[in-house]
A and B are shown apart, each in its own frame.
Chain A
Amino acid sequence: AQSVAQPEDQVNVAEGNPLTVKCTYSVSGNPYLFWYVQYPNRGLQFLLKYITGDNLVKGSYGFEAEFNKSQTSFHLKKPSALVSDSALYFCAVRDIGGNNRLAFGKGNQVVVIP
């Protein structure tokens, strides 16, 4: 089955510093990759996706992600973190089976320190 791994549990970053949240994937065939953010007691909000094309994907709220095929990675980045970016971030990959269901990583808690 397709899967993603988010190796870190928590990412701490000072406000204004660059933010990176790591994700690696394991797929057969071409990967369809997604990033979502979850605030407390809320559902998941879509940030960005990689389907094909340019390896640098730009998304919502100033986030971007870089697809790296040789390293099987899809790290989420933001040049300057805001306190309001503190949340839970999930990487996901379209699973096999043809129904577009998503397989999620375990999530990374991001804490932006004022």
Chain B
Amino acid sequence: GAGVSQSPRYKVAKRGQDVALRCDPISGHVSLFWYQQALGQGPEFLTYFQNEAQLDKSGLPSDRFFAERPEGSVSTLKIQRTQQEDSAVYLCASSPQGGSNQPQHFGDGTRLSIL
């Protein structure tokens, strides 16, 4: 079946511009996560949704970062007034409803470059 789909795969923006990154999780998956992966590092948690509810946004680095999942399926991560330190790969992951023993399934990510 289809996996987690992210678009665009690559995004180049000028400093100060706003960007929107899309995640289409596996159909029926209740949980959705966003991670940020800097070059040469492991992914860092940004935010978590259960259906349409954003239950944890403690990893968002600033109020320029905003995420939504209005209908409990597709999610969008928006970054306003981008800065060079926002350059990273943004990974989306989803998992079925269930306990913490469910593995997360990752998309291929969006590589964001801020000039």
Contact = CB atoms under 8 A, between A and B. Distances in A.
A97 B108 contact: no
Contacts of A92: 42
A99 interface: yes
Nearest to A92: B42
Interface in B25-43: 31, 33, 40-43
Interface in A47-62: 49, 51
Interface stretch (A13-21, A36-44, A75-83): A36-44
Give the interface size bracket for B toward A. 20 to 34
A104 B42 contact: yes
B21 interface: no
B108 A106 contact: no
A100 interface: yes
Contacts of B111: 41
Contacts of A90: 42-43
Interface in A62-114: 90, 92, 94-95, 97, 99-107
A35 to B, nearest CB: 10
Interface of B: 4, 6, 31, 33, 40-45, 48, 50, 55-56, 58-59, 91, 93, 95, 99-109, 111
Given A32-B101, A43-B106, 10 more contacts: A34-B103, A43-B6, A43-B109, A45-B106, A51-B100, A92-B42, A94-B100, A97-B58, A101-B45, A102-B104
